[in-house]
Amino acid sequence: MNVTFRQLKVFEAVARQGSYTRAAEELHLTQPAVSMQIKLLEEQVGLALFEQVGKKIYLTEAGREMHYYSRTIAQELNEAERVMEELKGVQRGRLVIAVASTANYFATRLLATFSQRYKHITLSLDVTNREGLLRHLDSNDADLVIMGQPPSQGLDLVAEPFMENPLVIIAAPGHVLVGEKKISLKRLQQETFVVRERGSGTRTAMERFFTDQGVELSTGMEMNSNEAIKQAVEAGLGLGIVSIHTLALELELKRLVILDVEAFPILRHWYVVHRQGKRLSPVAQVFKEFVLTEGAQTVRMPR
């Protein structure tokens, strides 16, 4: 087969996105250009790689096989790029970081401090939810991932904690519980909580904590971001549980209040994570060491 790297790159993007349009946006190409590359690849292979059912496209059996090999080839090329960067040294190179949406409140500060020391490093940052982080780890396409509790099963990972991540209960300033001391967990059963979506790290930690305590909370609205939770709580739609790292601005402006609840905060940690056996580039290795040794001092904890 006379297949080009460009064709494989376009094919991998379409297969991963499940859409010609989204793949075109990701690759900064027009949709006809993407379609043409797929057509040329299918002609070289001699088999259809996608089939359309209604408005959706799906990989054929040949497409699934090609997707496996295209990902493998892409990983080998990335490995080659990292080796070349290793020959250049730490002063140049590219760093690809994926962080949890909650961690983005401090990740930019970490990256800013790091980039000031290594001015010629190119940084790529993807802010996503837990599901997106697991996809990055599964495909091994990010140098490092910053997240809350790493998965305990399914992937061989190296996960090292570098900073505390306290989860606190927040309320609007006018809420009846503001100012009370050592609020009991039983008392919280009378309140409605605005919570993160199922599967998020914060939601999982919250549910595990209250289950262990034998407390059942009343949950109202589900939100897919911390910003949405904070706005809902500020509007009086209920109480919320978020990482204290997301609250610097709201606490300073007195738009939200942290409640004094027994057994709180729920103490978790932030981790820097990568696949077991991954060959980190010099840039990634130095950034990892920076996060582990200076991360907690670089990030200012909200008061």
- What pLDDT, on a 0 to 100 scale, did the predictor assign at position 65? 93
Q: Are 67 and 15 in contact (CB under 8 A)?
A: yes
Tokens found for residue 172:
């609007």
Average pLDDT rounded to a whole number, residues 89-109: 84
Q: What is the separation of C-alpha 273 from the centre of its chain, rounded to a whole number of angstroms? A: 11
Size (the chain), residues: 303
pLDDT tens per residue, range 221-246: 888 888 999 999 999 999 999 999 99
The Cα–Cα gap between 146 and 273 comes to 6
Q: Are 141 and 79 in contact (CB under 8 A)?
A: no
The Cα–Cα gap between 236 and 254 comes to 14
Confidence of residue 88 (pLDDT cuts 50, 70, 90): low
Cα-Cα-Cα-Cα dihedral sign, residues 243, 130, 282, 81: negative
Tokens found for residue 27:
């690759």
Average pLDDT rounded to a whole number, residues 111-116: 91
Tokens found for residue 247:
């609250």
User: Is the confidence at residue 168, as pLDDT, over 80?
Assistant: yes
CA count, 13 A, side-chain hemisphere, 138 = 11
| DSSP structural state of residue 30 | -
Q: Are 201 and 102 in contact (CB under 8 A)?
A: yes
User: Is the confidence at residue 90, as pLDDT, over 80?
Assistant: no
User: Is the confidence at residue 87, as pLDDT, over 60?
Assistant: no
Domains defined along the chain, listed by start = 5-73 (1.10.10.10), 76-163+269-298 (3.40.190.10), 165-267 (3.40.190.10)
The Cα–Cα gap between 295 and 74 comes to 31
Q: Are 257 and 231 in contact (CB under 8 A)?
A: no
The Cα–Cα gap between 44 and 162 comes to 49
User: Is the confidence at residue 294, as pLDDT, over 80?
Assistant: yes
Average pLDDT rounded to a whole number, residues 243-258: 92
Selected residue with higher pLDDT from 149 and 60: 60
User: Is the confidence at residue 105, as pLDDT, over 60?
Assistant: yes
- What pLDDT, on a 0 to 100 scale, did the predictor assign at position 89? 61
User: Is the confidence at residue 291, as pLDDT, over 90?
Assistant: yes
